[in-house]
Amino acid sequence: MRGFLVSLEGGEGSGKTTQAARLVASLNREGMPVTAVREPGGTDLGEKVRAILLDVQHHDMAAWAEANLYTAARAQLLKEVIIPRMAAGDVVVADRFADSTFAYQGAGRGLEMQVLMAMQMVLKVRPDLTILLDLDPAEGLRRKAAAGATPDRMESEDLAFHTRVREGFLAYAQRDPDRYFVVDASRDADGVAAAALAITLDRAAAHGLQRAASQ
């Protein structure tokens, strides 16, 4: 049986990585086979690409170089992890996927969307469900600053860039409402986690995946 791919998307500070981890833990408790991945990364090659992409020393990276590096890391992650685990019937929870390329490099950088879409179509895999954690980018950046971590190359972009990214995500959600589930990420973390789990279980069941206890 083919598995189920759910991606968590959102701007900086939206709680995406935390919520992805919580969703994985909840699905495990529900008895569902689950694999967690992150983008960029998740493979030896992908982690090396991640280090390049997020390094502030590469502040002058060309936008198309950036887009191609993200896509290269994604292709390797699909080959090594996502496709094999989905073939085994897992729910794969991805901390970012191709929609981030459309939002960051498309809406944020202004690259031609048709070309970006063609690049992703070559990979031949799209999420069955995308959970968008929507948050005012100013609040997201405040959260990141309050956490005390040094901003990476993407986080260091100005507010106007992050605003375009958010607008891009919301526009894509409107165009594909059957796949997207938008969650207000300003809510408390428990409420966001509960909403993400409920929609994932519902969509996975409709897809044919069942909890181990009910099989």
Q: Does domain 4-206 have CATH number 1.10.3720.10?
A: no
**For the chain, which residues make up each domain, given as ranges?**
4-206
Question: What does each of the 215 residues of the chain score in pLDDT, given as a tens digit?
Answer: 489 999 999 999 999 999 999 999 999 999 999 999 999 999 999 999 999 999 999 999 999 999 999 999 999 999 999 999 999 999 999 999 999 999 999 999 999 999 999 999 999 999 999 999 999 999 999 999 999 989 999 999 999 999 999 999 999 999 999 999 999 999 999 999 999 999 999 999 998 887 654 44
Distances (CA, A) of 58 to 94, 151, 153: 25, 13, 8
